[in-house]
Amino acid sequence: MVEVGGGWWRIALIAAVAGCSRNPAPPLAGPSSAPVMQTPARVALIAAPVEEDWKGLGDEAAALLSQYLRINTTNPPGNEITAARWLSEALRREGIESRIFEPAPGKANLYARLAGDGSARPIVLLNHMDVVLASPEFWTVDPFSGVTKDGYIWGRGALDMKGEGIAQLMTMLILKRAKVPLKRDIIFLATSDEEIGAGVGAAWIAEQQPDLVRGAEFLLNEGGTTRAKTGSQGAVEYYAVGTTEKSPFWLDVTARGTAGHGSRPTPDNPVHRLIRALNRVAEWRTPLVVTPAVERSFRDLATIERDTTMRRWLSDIRTAIRDSVAVRQLTADLTYNALLRNTISITGVKGSTKTNVIPPTASAAIDVRLLPGQDPAAFLADLVRIIGDTAVTVKPQGPNWPATESSSETEMFRAITEVARRRHPEALVTTMMLAGFTDSHYFRRMGIASYGLGPFPLTQADSRGVHGNDERISLEVLRAGVRFYYEVVSRVAAK
Ligand SMILES: [Zn+2]
């Protein structure tokens, strides 16, 4: 099917000019302005897609992703408004109205909703439009070319997370096009500022526009992993669905003492104090804690673990953490270690800027990550006790939150499991805790069961492009992911 073109060109130009007059900062020129206006052929659907429709729908997703990747949303500054207008147009072509919020110049959050009959609560499809910096000198192609080459679509954001954004967008388009009767509203929410961990994206929605998502039962977001088996065409090893994330608790440690000349040492040099305090922090082995999500995923992972000893430990992690040999080996794995305890990384140290000056204070930054169920205040009290020096203070850098967990005993989790099993009976479906964090915590804290869903089966090597160089997604994987997303959402939302 051919789509109208000229009208959108004009709207885009007017919008770009209007945007510039209010805010001259983010340039709209460059590779992003022209090609994104083209519209791909659409698949005409009169009912939910059948096998032969998926080829065309996959092509459409590829064309859309390629366009989306040409919009440079490197954050900072993000310039998500350009991406939001493009998404809005893609939705409008399908007759889906959207609303763009502009919380700051050049920034945007886009909201659209497909109405269900209200007999069940809504589902939110959450995606962030911003991407991290790409250094073109390390790339094989221009990171904002969206080029298709060697069976892959290349570009910053292909995996994190414009590819998943397109899977969500396609889900909206297909449901609307095929007039699938829905029992739940489907909310499409594209946000700014995920990559800077704060700002005017999901945080802004949660604070300023919580009514947009209030009452929703489920949310799907990045933060899951679908691991393709290396070397075996198309097979999947596991689907790890993110049900919880550790919570960052970043701290400033400051030591006070007496300033002076470096040639005449003072007994309470604050840099010496700080080093002694940090040494105690670095030596502290925080207790091992088994949380329900980790226990479940370890038990599941045990079923595909080849090493028999490791298999035994993973299958009963509560017993294993009482065995010193098991503890040594398990915690030698950086991921397992991060999943089993609150972690501490000392990441920044500041003293004097002059070698011959003893400063009045010295400070350090500590990146603490807390497990779900942990109380930040209690952790802080423990840390102060470990430091054991009243001349050393510890202060949180900003607000923090206790990590929460979404249940795996839900209609959504069951749907994910069923869709995954139908396509890949060989695959394990399990829960996962992220050692890092996404925007899901804003919504978990609003009572929405939020899942990290990785629709694209990727090998470890395929995932390397995330925040790295040559980020790309294979056309085949994109197709599979779009279909997977649609099948999960329609299973939970269709009447
Ligand atoms: Zn991301």
Evaluate whether 194 touches 202 at the Cβ level (below 8 Å): yes
38 — pLDDT class (breaks 50, 70, 90): low
Could you give the CA distance from residue 420 to residue 427 in angstroms, rounded to a whole number?
8
In the predicted structure, residue 480 carries a pLDDT above the cut 90: yes
Q: How far away, in angstroms, is 407 Cα from ligand 1 center?
A: 22
Q: Which amino acid is at 439?
A: D
| 16: Cα separation from own chain's centroid | 29
Q: What is the pLDDT of residues 60-82, one digit of tens each?
A: 999 999 999 999 999 999 999 99
Q: Token pair of 310, please? A: 């490791």
Q: How far away, in angstroms, is 168 Cα from ligand 1 center?
A: 14
Q: How far away, in angstroms, is 75 Cα from ligand 1 center?
A: 12
16 — pLDDT class (breaks 50, 70, 90): very low
Task: Give pLDDT, residue 36.
Answer: 56
Q: How far away, in angstroms, is 223 Cα from ligand 1 center?
A: 8
Q: How far away, in angstroms, is 342 Cα from ligand 1 center?
A: 23
In the predicted structure, residue 158 carries a pLDDT above the cut 90: yes
Contacts of 487 (CB under 8 A, 6+ apart): 419
Q: How far away, in angstroms, is 74 Cα from ligand 1 center?
A: 12
- Closest listed residue to residue 188, CA positions, set 173, 168, 208: 168
Could you give the CA distance from residue 102 to residue 109 in angstroms, rounded to a whole number?
7
Taking residues 276-292, what's their average pLDDT? 96
Read off the pTM.
0.87
Q: How far away, in angstroms, is 193 Cα from ligand 1 center?
A: 10
Q: How far away, in angstroms, is 160 Cα from ligand 1 center?
A: 4
Q: How far away, in angstroms, is 353 Cα from ligand 1 center?
A: 36
Q: What is the pLDDT of residues 417-452, one digit of tens each?
A: 999 999 999 899 999 999 999 999 999 999 999 999
| Residues measured by CB to lie within 5 Å of ligand 1, the ion | 160-161, 222
Q: How far away, in angstroms, is 439 Cα from ligand 1 center?
A: 9
Name the least confident of 39-43, 47-51, 109-113, 453-457. Answer: 39-43
Q: How far away, in angstroms, is 181 Cα from ligand 1 center?
A: 31
Q: What percent of the chain has pLDDT over 70?
A: 92
Taking residues 177-184, what's their average pLDDT? 96
Cis-peptide, bond into residue 446, ω within 30° of zero: no
Q: How far away, in angstroms, is 124 Cα from ligand 1 center?
A: 16
Taking residues 275-297, what's their average pLDDT? 95
Could you give the CA distance from residue 451 to residue 428 in angstroms, rounded to a whole number?
17
4 — pLDDT class (breaks 50, 70, 90): very low
Q: How far away, in angstroms, is 436 Cα from ligand 1 center?
A: 11
- Closest listed residue to residue 191, CA positions, set 95, 115, 247, 112: 112
Cβ count near 252 (within 10 Å): 15
Q: How far away, in angstroms, is 370 Cα from ligand 1 center?
A: 20
Q: Which amino acid is at 300?
A: D
- Closest listed residue to residue 170, CA positions, set 61, 36, 244, 88: 61
Contacts of 102 (CB under 8 A, 6+ apart): 81, 108
Evaluate whether 403 touches 394 at the Cβ level (below 8 Å): no
Task: Give pLDDT, residue 29.
Answer: 39
Tokens 């009290």: give the residue: 381
Q: Token pair of 34, please? A: 């022209």
Q: How far away, in angstroms, is 420 Cα from ligand 1 center?
A: 22
Q: How far away, in angstroms, is 490 Cα from ligand 1 center?
A: 24
Q: Please state the length of the chain.
A: 495
Task: Give pLDDT, residue 33.
Answer: 45
Q: How far away, in angstroms, is 266 Cα from ligand 1 center?
A: 48
In the predicted structure, residue 46 carries a pLDDT above the cut 90: no
Name the least confident of 199-203, 291-295, 491-495. Answer: 291-295
Q: How far away, in angstroms, is 102 Cα from ligand 1 center?
A: 20
Q: How far away, in angstroms, is 465 Cα from ligand 1 center?
A: 12
Q: How far away, in angstroms, is 61 Cα from ligand 1 center?
A: 19
Q: How far away, in angstroms, is 389 Cα from ligand 1 center?
A: 40
Q: How far away, in angstroms, is 495 Cα from ligand 1 center?
A: 31
Q: Token pair of 15, please? A: 């919008």
396 — pLDDT class (breaks 50, 70, 90): very high
Taking residues 406-414, what's their average pLDDT? 96
- Looking at every residue in the chain, the average pLDDT score rounds to 91
